[in-house]
């Protein structure tokens, strides 16, 4: 959606310490943008963060911190942004974000590629974008882990559909 005032994220996966909870087994696939004419956007196009709202909240922290697992971005093309993607966990707790996969991530007309911080097992495959703090690999080991994650996600989707069908009957 091209709008002059669209300075927000294309994909925004977010939480903060006060919210807790899980985000897991999600695939974003075949996403592309049209040129929006600006490299001055304030936010990354793809943003995976536990620092939503700078981590601030008026409520007390959740009993357990948020956890992000097995989130995949496949065949994403961005045209015209300041930063293509960022993965940012909680300072000192990189174990809370793991299993993030970027496959075939590409962009043009951007200033910053992919930046990862306070996260583990963030893997970029089949991409020439510059990245900081991420594992860039085309190895069979990472592809095998990625394929395993995709199979698990498909299985979860099938189980969810079966549950919905049985709930409707």
Query: Between 104 and 163, whose confidence is greater?
Result: 104
Q: What residues pair up with 79 in beta bridges, in sequence order?
A: 108
Per the prediction, the chain carries an average pLDDT of 79
- CA of 81: how far to CAs of 14, 16, 44, 77, 78, in Å? 20, 25, 7, 11, 7
Q: Distance of CA 161 to CAs 148, 157, 165, Å?
A: 20, 6, 6
pLDDT in tens, 62-117: 888 899 999 999 999 988 888 899 999 998 999 999 999 999 999 988 888 999 99
């Amino acid at each position: 959606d091209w709008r002059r005032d669209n300075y927000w994220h294309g994909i925004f996966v977010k939480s903060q310490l006060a919210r807790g909870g899980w985000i897991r087994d999600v695939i974003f696939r075949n996403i592309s943008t049209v040129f929006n004419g600006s490299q001055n956007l304030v936010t990354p196009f793809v943003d995976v963060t536990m620092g939503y709202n700078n981590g601030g909240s008026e409520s007390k922290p959740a009993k357990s911190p948020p956890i992000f697992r097995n989130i995949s971005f496949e065949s994403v093309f961005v045209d015209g942004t300041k930063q293509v993607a960022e993965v940012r966990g909680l300072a000192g707790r990189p174990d809370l974000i793991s299993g993030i996969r970027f496959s075939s991530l590409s962009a043009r007309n951007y200033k910053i590629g992919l930046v990862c911080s306070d996260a583990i097992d963030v893997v970029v495959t089949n991409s020439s974008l510059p990245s900081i703090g991420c594992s860039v690999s085309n190895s069979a080991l990472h592809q095998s882990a990625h394929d395993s994650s995709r199979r698990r996600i498909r299985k979860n989707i099938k189980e969810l559909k079966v549950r919905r069908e049985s709930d409707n009957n």
